A and B are shown apart, each in its own frame.
Chain A
Amino acid sequence: MNNRMILAAVAAALVAAAAPAAQAKDWTHVKVGIEGAFPPWNALDPQGNLTGLDVDLIKDLCTRAKVECDLQAGEWSAMIPSLNAGKFDLIMTLGINEKRKQVVDFTVPYASGVASFIVEKDGPLAKMPMTGEKLDLNDKEKADPVMKSIGEMLSGKAVGVVQSTSHEQLITAYFGKDVTLRTYKNSGERDLDLKAGRIDAGFDSGVYGATLPSKPGNEDLTIVGPQLKGAMLATEVAIGMRKGETELKEKLDAAIKSAAADGVIKTLSVKWSKLDLTPTF
Chain B
Amino acid sequence: MDFPFLYETFLTLIAALPLTLQLAATAIAFGAILALGLALCRISGILPLDWFARLYIFIFRGSPLLVQIFLIYYGLGQFREVRHSMFWFILRDPYWCAVIALMLNTAAYAAEIIRGGLLSVPHGQVEAARSCGMSPFMVFRRITLPLAVRQALPAYSNEMISMVKATSLASIITIMEVTGVAAKLISETFRAIEVFVVAGFIYLAINFVLTRLVAFVEYRLSPHMRQPAPLSAATVAGEIR
Chain A interface residues (CB < 8 Å from chain B): 77, 80-81, 84, 99, 103, 160, 163-164, 168, 182-185, 189, 192-193, 195-198
Contacts and interface: CB of A to CB of B under 8 A. Distances in A.
A103 B190 contact: yes
B61 interface: no
A163 B74 contact: no
A196 B78 CA distance: 6
B92 A197 contact: yes
Contact of A164 (B92, B172, B174, B187): B187
Contacts of B184: 163, 183
Given A193-B77, A197-B92, A77 B187 contact: yes
B186 A198 contact: no
Interface in B181-231: 183-184, 186-188, 190, 192
15 contacts: A77-B183, A80-B190, A81-B192, A84-B190, A99-B188, A160-B174, A164-B186, A168-B187, A182-B174, A183-B180, A183-B184, A184-B174, A193-B74, A196-B83, A198-B94
Contacts, number: 41
Contacts of B77: 192-193, 196, 198
A164 to B, nearest CB: 3
A84 B191 CA distance: 10
Q: Please name the 10 residue pairs, one residue from A and one from B, whose CB atoms are nearest each other, closest first.
A: A164-B187, A196-B77, A81-B192, A182-B174, A103-B190, A192-B74, A80-B190, A163-B187, A77-B187, A198-B92
B61 to A, nearest CB: 26
A193 B70 CA distance: 12
Given A185-B172, A198-B77, A77 B190 contact: no
A72 B94 CA distance: 31
Nearest to A163: B187
B74 A189 contact: yes
A77 B94 contact: no
B21 to A, nearest CB: 22
Contact of B83 (A80, A84, A197): A197
Contacts of B83: 196-197
A198 B88 CA distance: 10
A197 B188 CA distance: 28
A4 to B, nearest CB: 11
Contacts of A198: 77, 92, 94
Given A196-B74, A196-B78, 9 more contacts: A77-B186, A77-B187, A103-B190, A160-B174, A182-B174, A183-B174, A183-B184, A196-B83, A196-B92
A84 B192 CA distance: 10
The winner among B77, B190, B192 for most chain A CB atoms within 10 A is: B190
A80 B184 CA distance: 13
Contacts of B190: 80-81, 84, 103
Nearest to A162: B187
The winner among B184, B186, B187 for most chain A CB atoms within 10 A is: B187
Interface string B155-183: 00000000000000000101000001001
Nearest to A195: B78
Contacts of A185: 172
A81 B186 contact: yes
A176 B174 CA distance: 17
Contacts of A193: 74, 77, 174
B3 to A, nearest CB: 12
A185 B74 CA distance: 13
